[in-house]
């Protein structure tokens, strides 16, 4: 493990980080491909979506079709301009247009762009996390400035597809969850031992739900939920790593100590291969919950809508039903974000509309009794929202340009009034992980708590933090060097395939 000196842990600044930020300067790298093809494709797809919507959801739209059309043309022009800038090697990040931008954080965004001289940097020179986030914020502004399109979610239809096409899995899980709920209510015989296994199950369900994000699969058409899963499996992981592990064993010499060490290494690599979880802190999370949290406050910083959100709701449901959470705060995005991130309407859609959508579209593709179970569950979740057991918030910090190291100082209210009062904050997904770790080219063995800097600091009352992430970008922390090396040697693209994951925990409130 590489431990960072204290002074480097806490003194982050965008232009002074302990490791260099991930950028697009390496030809063929994921970030460079993102700038060249993946992200422009996403913007192009927004243009198509806008063209296909003759009117927006705005009520004034129908009475003013010409104005709507005019506004549509402006939006398309600005989006095309954005695509051109991305491919222009001399273009720098321009300031966001302020006039008419109603999102609420335009001044702060422009201050950050100016303060760190991003407006003098080309896209290639700008850290990946900054330009990618800037891109989604700029698209958000283009719509927000348009009178007739300001409430239009250009990703909405895509987002629901993962939920609709996962009907089989959703309905089976609804039935199981309902059965567990009923059993828990009827008896108080559930033991901590049962809870331990059940908790690991819902936690990992929420983890693997993160494989379903559409910024990686912008051409996903929703016909087949399994298509997305299969794409993830295309790697030759199993055989490649197994043979790597075998070669470690084969190469062993006669020295017994060496043999023991090699066997340990082999076991570690094999376990990572079998579980696909490269570092798993779920036992520590469980110990913390069991011993410290009863009727507590849990926060979930959400990632993707649709199927992943459903898995997060099942996790929250379990924590609530089993008495660990008295209140769960869900944090979602204010504006359409990284294609499939949850906005408030996506959350309400699952609670209000998903059972009827299944009735209309998937009658024959759900488990028997599954829709009824989903109805009961979603009804219960609506009651949770109504009576304040669950709360849904969309602070603008989550769609701001800054990594989370700057959260305590830059989102004071969110930090002091909300997150420091939490017993556990669960960050979902890859983007949240990148923002937690500043998206640097870390030495992979740097501990999670070191990489999240101030968010692991006792002195500012940082809460216990969990990151549940399937790996879809180049940055990784808290992964054993042998495991990292074995994967790197044998499986090109493993870092960004989403096939592997980490469950990481930092607890600044513990005495250790």
Task: Give residue 411's Cα distance to chain centre.
Answer: 20
Q: Which member of 105, 280, 346, 430 binds ligand F6P (CB under 6 A)? A: 430
Structure tokens given for 6: 């204290």
Q: Which stretch binds ligand F6P (CB under 6 A): 2-10, 20-28, 47-55, 424-432?
A: 424-432
CB atoms within 10 A of CB 283: 12
Whole-number Å distance between alpha carbons of 219 and 37: 13
Laid out side by side, the sheet with 277-280 consists of 277-280, 501-506, 465-470, 424-428, 296-301, 325-331, 390-393
Shortest distance, position 512 Cβ to ligand F6P, whole Å? 30
Per-residue contact track with ligand F6P, 30 to 69, x per CB under 6 A? ----------------------------------------
Residue with tokens 């006669």: 254
Residue 258, helix vs strand vs coil:
helix
Shortest distance, position 314 Cβ to ligand F6P, whole Å? 18
Q: Does 130 bind ligand F6P (CB under 6 A)?
A: no
Q: Does 132 bind ligand F6P (CB under 6 A)?
A: yes
Q: Which member of 165, 265, 304, 490 binds ligand F6P (CB under 6 A)? A: 304
Whole-number Å distance between alpha carbons of 33 and 27: 8
Q: With respect to ligand F6P, which residue has the nearer C-beta, 429 or 444?
A: 429
Q: What's the Rg (C-alpha) of the chain?
A: 23
DSSP code for 16: B
Shortest distance, position 150 Cβ to ligand F6P, whole Å? 24
Residue 341, helix vs strand vs coil:
strand
Q: Which stretch binds ligand F6P (CB under 6 A): 97-105, 207-215, 379-387, 480-488?
A: 207-215
Q: Does 222 bind ligand F6P (CB under 6 A)?
A: no
Q: Which member of 216, 269, 315, 424 binds ligand F6P (CB under 6 A)? A: 216
Residue 237, helix vs strand vs coil:
helix
Q: With respect to ligand F6P, which residue has the nearer C-beta, 366 or 473?
A: 473
Q: Which member of 303, 394, 418, 491 binds ligand F6P (CB under 6 A)? A: 303
Q: With respect to ligand F6P, which residue has the nearer C-beta, 377 or 407?
A: 407
Q: With respect to ligand F6P, which residue has the nearer C-beta, 149 or 433?
A: 433
Cα pseudo-dihedral 247, 248, 252, 255, rounded to 10: 180
Binding residues for ligand F6P restricted to 436-495, rule: CB under 6 A: 472-473
Q: Which stretch binds ligand F6P (CB under 6 A): 4-12, 177-185, 187-195, 211-219?
A: 211-219
Residues sharing a CB contact under 8 Å with residue 400, sequence separation 6 or more, in sequence order:
105, 108, 109, 112, 133, 137, 410, 411
Whole-number Å distance between alpha carbons of 477 and 19: 12
Whole-number Å distance between alpha carbons of 3 and 374: 46
Q: Does 346 bind ligand F6P (CB under 6 A)?
A: no
Structure tokens given for 7: 């002074």
Per-residue contact track with ligand F6P, 305 to 344, x per CB under 6 A? ---------------------------------x------
Whole-number Å distance between alpha carbons of 440 and 422: 27
Binding positions for ligand F6P, rule: CB under 6 A: 132, 210, 213, 215-216, 303-304, 338, 429-431, 434, 472-473
């Amino acid at each position: 493990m590489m431990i960072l000196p204290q002074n480097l842990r806490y003194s982050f600044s965008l232009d002074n980080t302990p490791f260099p930020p991930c950028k697009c300067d390496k030809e063929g790298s994921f970030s460079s491909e993102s700038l060249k093809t993946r992200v422009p494709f996403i913007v192009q797809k927004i243009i198509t979506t806008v063209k296909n919507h003759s009117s927006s959801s705005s009520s004034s739209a129908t009475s003013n079709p010409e104005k709507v059309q005019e506004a549509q043309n402006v939006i398309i022009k600005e989006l095309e301009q954005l695509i051109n800038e991305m491919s222009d090697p001399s273009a720098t990040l321009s300031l966001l247009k302020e006039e008419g931008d109603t999102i609420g954080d335009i001044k702060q965004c422009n201050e950050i762009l100016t303060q760190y001289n991003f407006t003098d940097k080309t896209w290639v020179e700008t850290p990946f996390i900054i330009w990618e986030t800037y891109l989604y914020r700029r698209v958000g502004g283009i719509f927000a400035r348009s009178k007739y399109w300001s409430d239009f979610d250009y990703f909405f239809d895509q987002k629901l597809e993962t939920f609709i096409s996962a009907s089989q899995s959703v309905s089976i899980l609804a039935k199981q969850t309902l059965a567990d709920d009923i059993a828990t209510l009827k008896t108080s015989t559930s033991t901590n031992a049962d809870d331990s296994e059940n908790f690991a199950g819902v936690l990992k369900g929420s983890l693997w739900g993160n494989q379903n994000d559409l910024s990686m699969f912008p051409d996903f058409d929703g016909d087949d939920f399994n298509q997305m899963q299969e794409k993830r499996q295309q790697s030759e992981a199993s055989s490649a790593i197994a043979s790597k592990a075998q070669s470690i064993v084969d190469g062993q010499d006669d020295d017994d100590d060496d043999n023991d060490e090699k066997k340990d290494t082999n076991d570690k690599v094999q376990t990572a291969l079998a579980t696909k979880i490269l570092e798993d802190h779920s036992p520590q999370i469980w110990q913390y919950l069991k011993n410290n949290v009863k009727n507590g406050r849990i926060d979930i910083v959400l990632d993707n809508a649709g199927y992943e959100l459903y898995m997060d709701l099942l996790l929250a449901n379990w924590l609530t039903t089993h008495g660990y959470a008295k209140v769960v705060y869900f944090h979602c995005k204010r504006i359409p974000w990284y294609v499939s991130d949850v906005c408030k309407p996506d959350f309400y859609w699952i609670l209000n509309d998903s059972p009827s959508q299944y009735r209309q579209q998937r009658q024959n593709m759900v488990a028997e009794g599954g829709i009824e179970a989903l109805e009961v569950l979603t009804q219960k979740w609506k009651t949770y929202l109504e009576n304040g057991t669950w709360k849904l918030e969309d602070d603008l910090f989550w769609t701001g340009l800054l990594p989370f190291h700057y959260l305590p100082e830059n989102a004071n209210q969110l930090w002091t009034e909300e997150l420091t009062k939490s017993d556990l904050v669960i960050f979902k997904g890859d983007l949240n992980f990148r923002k937690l770790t500043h998206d640097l080219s870390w030495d992979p063995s740097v501990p999670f708590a070191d990489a999240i800097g101030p968010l692991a600091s006792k002195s500012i009352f940082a809460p216990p933090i969990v990151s549940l992430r399937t790996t879809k970008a180049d940055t990784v922390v808290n992964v054993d060097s042998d495991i990292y090396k074995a994967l790197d040697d044998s499986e090109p693209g493993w870092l960004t395939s989403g096939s592997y994951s980490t469950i990481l925990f930092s607890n600044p409130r513990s005495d250790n």
